[in-house]
Amino acid sequence: MGAMLVAFSVAPSVSGDDGSVTDAVADAVRIVRESGLPNHTDAMFTTIEGDWDECMDVVRRCVEAVAVHGPRVSLVLKADVRPGRTGELTAKIERLESRL
């Protein structure tokens, strides 16, 4: 399978005393950044770019890291599979901005 963008959100089912899942999310984002894959994190999702195996390995490791924080993990994932394309993490935004 070729290049893809994967946007995902992962969080434990149980939050801290203040309702925050920041520590768990930070553990996941650390894995993403250490993966070396192009990535972007915003308030709702983290997006990574790579091939199928690379992306799914990072997602799996993030889920495992978050699972340490609670007995259940929520994962939301959306993928844009574009064989033969690279650099789409920024190129898609650049194409949009050029039309605005």
* Predicted model pTM: 0.90
Interacting residues of 64 by C-beta distance below 8 A, sequence separation 6+? none
Given this model, what pLDDT does residue 84 score? 87
Q: Which CATH number fits domain 3-99: 3.30.1330.180, 3.30.540.10, 3.30.930.10, 3.30.70.930?
A: 3.30.70.930
Given this model, what pLDDT does residue 16 score? 65
pLDDT at 48 over 70: yes
